Amino acid sequence: MKKRALQVLMVLGLAGVLFGGGAVGAVAWVVHESVQENCDMAQQAHPHPGDDAAALTDFIHSSTHSFQERNHAIWTLGRLSDPKALPALEAVYTGDLCNHNTTLCQYELEKAIKRCGGIPNPPREIRH
């Protein structure tokens, strides 16, 4: 009986590991695809062949794009973690509270700045 229970636990454990690994892989693929889509969108609007970070930085500075689209570009710059994007990200970072209808997302900017190797200054306001 103990041997059978041990076999069942081992099979369940292996299934859990495989399922978990598959889930992690699926999430990584979705993130990769989203990054690629956002880079393609930025390259179409602001061509910089071979330099997605430059296309994305032009994109976030262009008022012809919605705040939602520009926030996606900021998220993408964070995923790319390209230090060349730091000056552009810091230029639009204020640390103020987010209002996605009227300004760029300061939380996404803070994360992107950190991922590109910078330190957000001033610290972002947080409401409790």
Joined together, the tokens standing for residue 18 give: 């495989």
User: Is the model's pLDDT at 128 over the cut of 70?
Assistant: no
pLDDT at position 122 is 81
Global confidence as pTM: 0.79
The CA-atom distances, in angstroms, between 94 and each of 39, 54, 79, 113 are 25, 21, 21, 12
Q: Which residue has the higher pLDDT, 71 or 120?
A: 71
